[in-house]
Structure 1
Amino acid sequence: MKADWIAVDWGTTRLRAWAMGPDGVRAEAASDEGMGRLDRAGFEPALLRLIGGWLGSGVTPVLACGMVGSRQGWHEVPYRQVPCAPVAAGALAAVPVQDRRIAVQIVPGLAQSVPADVMRGEETQIAGALTLHPGFDGAVCLPGTHSKWAQVSAGEVVSFQTFLTGELFALLSEQSVLRHGLSEGWDDSAFDAGLAEGASRPERLMALLFRLRAEGLLSGLSGAAARSRLSGLLIGAELAAARPWWLGLPILLIGADRLCGLYARGLAAQGATARVLPATDCTLAGLALASGALKGAAA
């Protein structure tokens, strides 16, 4: 099986690839050889270990997005400044390779000067979302370790904002004093309570976080309830801070079903409705758009 071209999503912890044909995905593969585990010389061998079986005697185009284009990645690709289309013809960056069977291109990330912000990988998902929903104008949210909120209009990313919500949850639940009172499990009512507090009183977030510890010691707050409320507090505070990016606008959520479901629940509590799109579908649609843009530029 030879791929017509190969789509790659290369993040900090994971490498995912798809062999693409005229009708879409022919095969897929993944490894834990993310950017964070590789030095610059290790990227091409890691990629070839994953996609070698999809290559033939000719040259196969490889289109990649994500942290592979960062300063610590395989080949640093300069950001494109917003407002701009999330993916554009002629903006892909070629990567020097040793193996002549592949021609690797990386999709640039986006940057915003004031207030300062950057994204890598999310621009491809936003481009894919706009491909799947032509003419969409509104807010796009990509929940995750570093959640992104982007305002999109006339096919361009106009502005965006990043929130450290997922990383804060990981740090607080695994390394802070709060970890002593948390356990696995989930409590919807506790999440909703945290969500309401975080959204209505974001200025009190620091105090509300420590209250989880105190209630565990004094009132018997269960570990599952504390964990759920912690999630609600952080997501609620994010939604409050991101309100200028979504208030009164159509909203698309891109990501994993469960996490997007929590954000949709939080938005619904604020009177807003969001549509959830799978991250992989958006990534592949965005890279397919980049593939077409590359072919158009070459023509």
Structure 2
Amino acid sequence: MSAISPDWIAVDWGTSKLRVYAMTRGGEALQTRTSDQGMATLTPDMYEPTLRALIADWTLPTPCTVIACGMLGSRQGWQEAPYRSAPCQAITRAPVRVQNCSADLAVWLVPGVKQNEPADVMRGEETQIAGFLALDPDWDGVICLPGTHSKWVHVSAGEIVSFRTFMTGELFAVLSQNTVLRHSLGGPDWDDSAFEAALSKTLSRPENLTSALFSLRAADLLHGQSKGSANAQLSGALIGAELAAAKPYWLGQRVVIIGDDRLCDLYDFALMRQGLKPERSDAGAITLAGLSAAYTSL
């Protein structure tokens, strides 16, 4: 096996996952490594040792430039990288250098983006947006990033104009694991028709969401409703409520969806039912493109 000798290192460090890429100056990833040592498991003094352990057998230049995005730049992370204020250019020109780091590593953090009214923030997604626009610089429209905290982002002329965040993924996890609904959910089963029905009902009448949620438990108790149907209905109801609130972002707009394939499939299906034809983009490729854009800006 040949030795890995990157020109620089790209890092995507989120709350639960760490991804590290050995990069060439031309933006090619020579090797990728992943770890479960996300921000939630670390204290500030653990970031450098964790990174070094993951790349210990790589041959690095001295000093080695590291460009990192994600939650390690939060107040609770390695070092805070202050938010930029929207509207702002999607591709950051001012990454923040980590101060408490050994001299042979020059670690730069991509700042997140904040919105003062309504109050909102993002960390990590701004790099995906930057990467998407680096690959398609003339694109204008709305970027949907489904996930634990789903984002709807209006971009125009290379700028992040405005955005809204929805706790849809986190609500699904909390409701399915820590409420009475946990007795009626679970397993890998899925019911497409149940998802579509719940999506339609909640999108048209989002004020009925909490009542619809309890009906999932009642249908189990009274009718023995399958867990597959309940799983799909919970997802459909929550995504329907999100789409209802995000309607000013997607109605009549050009939309691209970026994220986990399975989750993106659900949003794609939901938006197509509203008459849209959303585009798709590969999350991994655009994250690297965004980190590469930050690297070339140094």
Q: Same fold (TM over 0.5)?
A: yes
* CA distance in 1: counterparts of 2:153 and 2:167, whole angstroms: 15
Question: Structure 1 residue 72 and structure 2 residue 100: aligned?
Answer: no
* CA distance in 1: counterparts of 2:211 and 2:169, whole angstroms: 19
What are the superposed Cα offsets for residues 189-239 of structure 1, whole Å, 9 maximum, x if unpaired?
A: 111111111211111101111111111111221111001110000011101
* CA distance in 2: counterparts of 1:287 and 1:231, whole angstroms: 32
Correspondence for 1:85: 89
CA RMSD of aligned residues (A): 1.1
After TM superposition, list the pairs within 5 Å mapping 1:217-228 onto structure 2: 217-228=221-232
After TM superposition, list the pairs within 5 Å mapping 1:1-299 onto structure 2: 1-21=4-24, 22=26, 24-89=28-93, 91-184=94-187, 185-294=189-298
Q: CA deviation at 1:97?
A: 4.2
CA contact (8 A) 1:81 1:112 kept: yes
What are the superposed Cα offsets for residues 215-266 of structure 1, whole Å, 9 maximum, x if unpaired?
A: 1111221111001110000011101110111111111111011100000000
212-221 vs 228-237, which moves further: 212-221
What are the superposed Cα offsets for residues 19-77 of structure 1, whole Å, 9 maximum, x if unpaired?
A: 01136010111111111111111111011111232243521110000000000000001
Q: Secondary structure at the match of 1:42?
A: helix
Paired letter, 1:209: L
* CA distance in 1: counterparts of 2:135 and 2:240, whole angstroms: 28
Paired letter, 1:44: E
* CA distance in 2: counterparts of 1:118 and 1:98, whole angstroms: 26
Q: CA deviation at 1:85?
A: 1.1
Correspondence for 1:297: none
In structure 2, runs of 5+ residues without a counterpart are none
Paired letter, 1:94: R
CA contact (8 A) 2:101 2:107 kept: no
* CA distance in 2: counterparts of 1:88 and 1:23, whole angstroms: 17
Q: Secondary structure at the match of 2:242?
A: helix
* CA distance in 1: counterparts of 2:144 and 2:27, whole angstroms: 29
Alignment coverage as a number of residue pairs? 293
CA contact (8 A) 1:257 1:276 kept: no
Paired letter, 1:202: P
CA contact (8 A) 2:27 2:289 kept: no
Q: Secondary structure at the match of 2:53?
A: helix
* CA distance in 1: counterparts of 2:142 and 2:218, whole angstroms: 37
Paired letter, 2:149: H
**TM-score scaled by length of structure 1:** 0.96
* CA distance in 2: counterparts of 1:79 and 1:143, whole angstroms: 21
Q: Percent identity?
A: 54
**TM-score scaled by length of structure 2:** 0.96
Write out the 4+ residue segments of structure 1 that deviate beyond 4 Å after TM superposition.
none
Paired letter, 2:130: A
Q: Secondary structure at the match of 1:149?
A: strand
Q: CA deviation at 1:126?
A: 0.5
* CA distance in 2: counterparts of 1:166 and 1:56, whole angstroms: 38
* CA distance in 1: counterparts of 2:37 and 2:27, whole angstroms: 28
283-292 vs 273-282, which moves further: 273-282
* CA distance in 1: counterparts of 2:123 and 2:90, whole angstroms: 11
